[in-house]
Structure 1
Amino acid sequence: MRPKNACMLLLTAFIWGTAFVAQSVGMDYLEPFTFNGVRCLIGAIALLPCIWFFNRGKEKENKVNDKNAKRDLIKGGIACGILLFAASSLQQIGLVYTAAGKAGFITAFYIVLVPVFGIFLHKNIGWKVWTAVAIALAGLYFLCITETFTIGVGDIYVFLCALIFSVHILVVDHYAPKVDGVKLSCIQFLVAGIVSIPFMLILESPKMGNMMTSWFPLIYAGVFSCGIAYTLQILGQKNVNPAIASLILSLESCFSVLSGWVILGERLSARETIGCIMMFAAIILAQIPDKKSSADTN
C-alpha cells in the first residue's frame, strides 16, 4: 500500500472518531433520519466547490471514456448513497437501544466481514491480514466492551449496519479506481440525503429551531465527517486491498476514545489502553510488505 493511501485512510478514521462527540450532541436535539439527512445534504453541498476547483479545464477530453465514466459514476454514486443511508440509519436507531461502546464494537465487525466477503470476490487475503483482523477484533473488545456481552434489539440493528458498511467498502473498492472520487462522494451524499427526506417527514418531526440549535454538530458531521472523511475514504481506497482498508478505518474506535481522553478529559482505563495498543499493532502487521512481492494491492 502506498503511504499516501494509508495516510488518507488514517485521517478518515481520525475524523470519524473525533466526530462521534458531534454526532452524540446532535442527537440530543434531532432524530436519526433528520440528523443523517441534513448532514448528508450539507456534505454534498460542501463538495461542490471542490468539484469545480479540481475540474477546471477538463471539460472536453476523451468522450468515449467520459461516457463510460459517467455511467459508472452515476451507478456507483446511487449504490454508495443507498448503502450509506441504510447503514447510518441502522446505526443511529441501534444507538437508541444499546450503549455507544458496544455499538462501536459491533459496527467494527466489518473488519471481519470485508475479508470474508472478499473471498467470494476473489480478493487475495493473506495470513498476515487474517492475523491482523483477529488481533484488531480482540483489541476492539477490550476497547469497547466494559460489561457482560449480551445481545439485544439495538445490537441486531448495529450488526446489520456493520453488514451494510462492509458492502459499502467493497462497492467503493469496485468504483473508486474507475471514477472521480470527489464526484462519487458528492453523489452518494446527495442520494443518502434525498432518501432520508421521506422517512424524516413521515416518521419524525423535524423542526428548524432544533436544526439551528444543533448547527455546530451538523456542520462538523456534514463538512468534516461526510464531506471530507468519506471523500478521503474513496480516494484512499483506490487500488488498496479492501481488507487492509477496513482495518485502518476501524481505528475510528481508538480515535473516539483518545479524543474523549484529550478533549473531554475522560480517563483512559488500562483495558482501553490495551485495546488501543492491540489495534495499532494489528494495523502495523497488516502494513508489513510480503517478501515475495509488494504489488498485491487488489
Structure 2
Amino acid sequence: MIVTRRQSLLAHAFLLAIVLVWGATFSVVQNALRDCSPLLFNTLRMTLACIALAVVHLRHLRNLSRSAIRAGAVAGLFLALGYALQTTGLQTTTAPRCAFLTGLVVVLVPLFCIVPKLRPPGAPRPGIVPLFGAAGAFAGIVLLTTPANLPLSEFTHGLHLGDLLSFLCAIAFAAHLLSLSHLARQIPASQLATLQIGFAALFLALAMPLVETPRIDISGYLIFAMLLCALVGTAAAFYVQTWAQQYLQASHTALLLALEPAFALLTALLFFGERLTLRSGLGAALILISLIASELLSSQPVSEQPEANAA
C-alpha cells in the first residue's frame, strides 16, 4: 500500500502518545519495585498484558499461521532479552552507566539500517541528518540520565560485566525495534502485539531463576502499578507501537523513543516533587531539538510499502 501523509502523521502522533505513557509510568515502576523484584514485575505485567490482548483480539487469534507465531517469537525474544539484560546489568554496574549504555539504542538503529539486510523493506538508507539527529538525541539522554557531579572516572575506570550486559541490552532493544519494522507489515497488529508479549512473558519467566531471587510484597500501590503498566503501558502501548511501525522509518521510531526520559522527567516534576536542573533541562531540550530537526531536514518522500494486514 501507499503510506499517505495522514497515515504517517497519525503513526507519529500515536507513537508519541505511547512514549509519553512510558515516560509517565517510569516513576510509577520505580516506586513499585520496592515491593517486587524487577524481573518478576516485568514477567507479571507481560502476562497480564498478554491475557488482556488475547481477550480483546480473540477472534483474530483463532487461525494463527506459522509465520505469525514465528514473528511473535522473534519479537518477543528480543523484547525479553532487552528487559532481562537490563535487569541483570544493573546488578553489577551503576544506574547512570546502564542508562548511558542503554541509550545507545537511538544511535544503533540508524547505524544498523545502513546494512541492507537489516533495513526494513522500502526504507531509504539513513543519510547524515538522521545520524546527526540520533547523536544529538543520545547526547540529550546522557545529560538527562547522568548527574552533574558524577566523576569522569565513573565511566572510564574499567569495564564491568554489567556494562557489557547493558550494551547488549541496547542491541536487543534495537533489534526488537527493527524486527517490528520488518514484521509489522506482514502480520496483523492484533496478532503480532499479542504474540510478542506472550512470548516475552514466557522467556522472562524462564530467565527469572537465572537472574534474580523473586520477591513480592502485595500492596495496594503494587496492584495499581501492575494494572496500569500491564494494561496501558504494555498491552495498549505495544499494540500501538506494532501498528505505528507499519508507517514509520525505524530511525524515526528510535528518535521518538528517545523522548521517554524527557517525559519521565516531566512526570517527576509535576507529580513526584522532582526539581528541574539546568543540566536536565538542556538534555530534554536537546532531545526535542534533535527530533524536530531530523524530521524537518530529512524530508524523505512518502514511499510505497507492502500491503499491511492491520486489524
TM-score normalised by the shorter chain: which range applies? 0.7 to 0.9
Q: Distance in 1 between matches of 2:93 and 2:186?
A: 39
- Displacement of 1:278 in angstroms is 0.7
Unaligned ranges ≥5, structure 2:
306-311
- Displacement of 1:276 in angstroms is 0.6
* Of 219, 230, 236, the match for 1:228: 236
Q: Distance in 2 between matches of 1:203 and 1:167?
A: 22
- CA gap of 1:215–1:98, structure 2 versus 1, over 3 A, is farther
Are the equivalent residues in 1 in contact too, given 2:130–2:298 (CA < 8 A)?
no
2:199 maps to 191
Is 1:36 the counterpart of 2:37 in the alignment? no
Q: Distance in 2 between matches of 1:203 and 1:138?
A: 31
Q: Distance in 1 between matches of 2:302 and 2:225?
A: 41
2:24 maps to 18
1:241 maps to 249
- Identity among equivalent positions (%) equals 25
Are the equivalent residues in 2 in contact too, given 1:240–1:297 (CA < 8 A)?
no
- Displacement of 1:169 in angstroms is 0.6
Deviates more, 1:153-162 or 1:112-121: 153-162
Q: TM-score, normalised by structure 1?
A: 0.86
What pairs up with 1:18-97 in 2 under 5 angstroms? 18-52=24-58, 70-97=65-92
- CA gap of 1:290–1:107, structure 2 versus 1, over 3 A, is closer
Q: Tell me the C-alpha RMSD between the 2 structures.
A: 2.6
- Displacement of 1:190 in angstroms is 0.9
- Displacement of 1:133 in angstroms is 1.0
2:113 maps to 118
2:12 maps to 6
Residue type of the alignment partner of 1:225: G
Are the equivalent residues in 2 in contact too, given 1:241–1:297 (CA < 8 A)?
no
Residue type of the alignment partner of 1:33: L
Are the equivalent residues in 1 in contact too, given 2:111–2:131 (CA < 8 A)?
no
Q: Which one has the bigger helix percentage?
A: 1
Q: Distance in 1 between matches of 2:303 and 2:297?
A: 9
Q: Distance in 1 between matches of 2:17 and 2:100?
A: 20
Q: TM-score, normalised by structure 2?
A: 0.83
- CA gap of 1:208–1:257, structure 2 versus 1, over 3 A, is closer
Q: Distance in 1 between matches of 2:55 and 2:162?
A: 38
Q: Distance in 2 between matches of 1:12 and 1:273?
A: 22
Unaligned ranges ≥5, structure 1:
60-65
- The C-alpha deviation readout for 1:1-45, integer Å capped at 9, x for no partner, is 611010122112111112212322232222233112111101101
- CA gap of 1:183–1:277, structure 2 versus 1, over 3 A, is same
Deviates more, 1:25-34 or 1:82-91: 25-34
Partner SS for 2:203: helix
2:134 maps to 133
* Of 96, 100, 103, the match for 1:105: 100
1:286 maps to 294
Are the equivalent residues in 1 in contact too, given 2:40–2:215 (CA < 8 A)?
no
